[in-house]
Amino acid sequence: MELDERLSRDQIVKLAGSATFSRALLYQQQGRVEGVLRLGSTAAATVRGTVPYRVKLTFGTRPAWFCDCPVGTDGKFCKHCAALAIELLDPDEQALVRSASGGRRSDLVGTLGTLGREQLEEIVRLAAARDPRVAQAIETAATAASGTSVDVGQWTKRIDTAFRTGGFIPYAKAPDWAAGIVEVLDGLGDLVRSGFADEALGLAERAYRKLERSMGRVDDSGGEVVWISGKIADLHLEAAVTSSPEPVAFARRLAKLEMDGELGTFRRAALTYREVLGAKGLSEYRKAVEPKWRKWNNGDQDHWSHDRFLANEAMIGVVLAGGNPDELVEIMSDRMRASDDYLEVARAMEGAGRRGEAIRWSRLGLTAMADRPWQTQPLREFLASLYVADGDDPAAEDLWWQGFRARPSVDSYRRLIAETSSSDPTEARDRATGELRAWTEAEEDPSRASKHASVLVDVLLYEGQVDEAWKVANHHGVDDQTWMKLAHARASEHPLDVIPIYERAAEALVETKKAGAYQDAVRILKRIENLAASGGEAVLFRQVLARMVEDHARKPSFIALLRRAGWV
């Protein structure tokens, strides 16, 4: 993303409002903005609220945004969109924002210092009455300060109550159900940090078992169960590291959690917990897992059994924790079915200081998975890093060319240009676009849009060559999505040219006969109206509108929307 392709602080505040901006800033400072991806003028990320939400921002003259949270789906610039926008701020501007926020917090701390005990107590009482999380934190702190033991029975009831479903929980109610659970899990985190890690460890395991039982009773389309699973995993590991449980008994308990689980919360736990388990715990873990692994790999068992999968994963965790890559190869010998399997072995070899073997396994994986280029990117990246570490930049660059040719896209093009550091970037750009042009000419088929032309147009748009992209699209044809990208890029300079593209898009939406699609079609028609006006040809919009009314006169819901817009 270019440095100027972002929103300023003032723009974010204007779109979100000051209150939402403050909450978004807190989210950003807490590290809730994860997996940021940048492509041209678009940025996407996951922002973790009560559940993880998908967020996308598109920059330009008229910024656009998307978030699948309840506020975002209404089209509003929610705190999750604002948090991503803050994450993308220039580092200097981020520092200023943090400084300003910190200044306000300092003022608050100073103000609290001027209050008397009774005033502070009243404020705390009000906060605890309004927010159960505050009351819970106060209770935990008081227990720790008094030196008394935690009421495990009371915490058990809280967990059981939070996970209770009372029947099936539909999609719309799942976030509220998850929010109650997260509140209790956060309380368990307070227990860990207040000196009650032993108790929190057992309670986290109870929460996990309750979560397992809730499967099938909750519509997890929004990812609530997976999110809670991750929270429990993090909490359990923190509690285990803090409490240092007796390794042998803990290994038995942990192995059972992994082998009996459906969610994968404790997948490869021996590796994750190896520092907690130590040599004795790892030895005990192997004793618990290996017999089951051998049972499921004796040649007579169902190859696709879930129990076999669990046993294999548990044993792989044990072997990885032990650091013996040869044993890993033995265990995985009959399951090298994906590029990630080869990557696993290659990483283990590199971790053991055997780079030559790591390179060999990486090459084997790329050869074996040559017909699945969409799966091999991580393996290709790893092998390229090994070549670079060995000083073999040409071999690394050749890998990126292979990846681009195997699966041409704007992403593989961008990575190719970024990684060809030992050669002239201009030469690499010309060579890559030249190959795309050659493939486009060879593929040309008047009966359908050209696949390679669509990629070529994407690449030209990425490089800012809008006019050239327009020529390619009109000569060879491209898919609908690429036409829309091209229309957005060309609209400001040539508004009349793109009206037919938007008309086709509106027509396709109306043909779906869905209410939401009708509304989207009306928004596109509004865009056509603006484009026609800016191009000095308002009559073009009236012609488009007349065609739409004539073609869809029997769709009363759509015509009603046109009437509401004042067009009919």
Distance of CA 353 to the CA centre of its chain: 32
Q: What is the DSSP string of 131-198?
A: -HHHHHHHHHHHHHHHTPPP-HHHHHHHHHHHH--SS-B-GGGHHHHHHHHHHHHHHHHHHHHTT-HH
Place of tokens 């701020």: 89
Same domain, 497 and 433: no
Residue 429 lies in a domain: yes
Same domain, 463 and 517: no
Same domain, 166 and 103: no
pLDDT at 261 (0 to 100)? 86
pLDDT at 66 (0 to 100)? 86
Residue 287 lies in a domain: no
Mapping DSSP to helix (H, G, I), strand (E, B) and coil, where does residue 415 land?
helix
Q: Which region holds residue 464: left if phi is over 0, alpha if psi is between -120 and 50, else beta?
A: left
Residue 295 lies in a domain: no
Same domain, 465 and 514: no
Same domain, 94 and 173: no
pLDDT at 355 (0 to 100)? 95
pLDDT at 536 (0 to 100)? 94
Same domain, 468 and 553: no
pLDDT at 202 (0 to 100)? 96
Residue 474 lies in a domain: yes
Cβ neighbors of 43 (< 8 A, separation 6 or more) are 1, 6, 36, 37, 56, 57, 59, 84, 88
Residue 157 lies in a domain: yes
Mapping DSSP to helix (H, G, I), strand (E, B) and coil, where does residue 565 land?
coil
pLDDT at 100 (0 to 100)? 55
| φ, ψ at 56 (rounded to 5°) | -140, 135
Cβ neighbors of 370 (< 8 A, separation 6 or more) are 376, 406
Cα–Cα dist 492/494, whole Å: 6
Residue 61 lies in a domain: yes
pLDDT at 505 (0 to 100)? 93
Instruction: Print the SS3 string covering 328-367.
Output: HHHHHCCCCCCHHHHHHHHHHHHHCCCHHHHHHHHHHHHH
Same domain, 499 and 551: yes
Q: Which domain holds residue 504?
A: 491-568
Asked which of 243, 264, 296 is the last residue of a domain, the reply is 243
Cα–Cα dist 200/195, whole Å: 10
**Contact present, 522 and 529 (Cβ < 8 Å):** no
Same domain, 516 and 470: no
Q: How buried is 531 (Cβ within 10 angstroms: 0-12 exposed, 13-18 middle, 19+ buried)? A: buried
Instruction: Print the SS3 string covering 236-267.
Output: HHHHHHHHCCCHHHHHHHHHHHHHHCCCCCCC
Asked which of 243, 278, 302 is the last residue of a domain, the reply is 243
pLDDT along the chain (568 residues), means of 10: 64 84 83 80 80 81 81 82 90 66 54 75 73 67 69 93 91 85 90 92 96 90 85 94 95 95 91 95 96 81 76 92 92 84 94 94 94 88 92 91 91 85 76 93 69 92 93 92 92 94 94 85 93 94 95 92 92
pLDDT at 364 (0 to 100)? 95
Q: What is the pTM of this model?
A: 0.64
Residue 127 lies in a domain: no
Q: Which amino acid is residue 107, in one-letter code?
A: D
Place of tokens 């400084």: 99
Same domain, 507 and 460: no
**Contact present, 379 and 346 (Cβ < 8 Å):** yes
Q: How far is CA 395 from CA 380, 388, 424, in A?
A: 11, 8, 16
Tokens of 553: 């006169």
pLDDT at 1 (0 to 100)? 37
Cα–Cα dist 37/410, whole Å: 13
Strand blocks (E) in 281-420: none
Asked which of 183, 212, 243 is the last residue of a domain, the reply is 243
The domain tally of the chain equals 4
Same domain, 506 and 550: yes
Residue 306 lies in a domain: no
Same domain, 170 and 230: yes
| φ, ψ at 34 (rounded to 5°) | -125, 155
Same domain, 469 and 515: no
**Contact present, 247 and 280 (Cβ < 8 Å):** yes
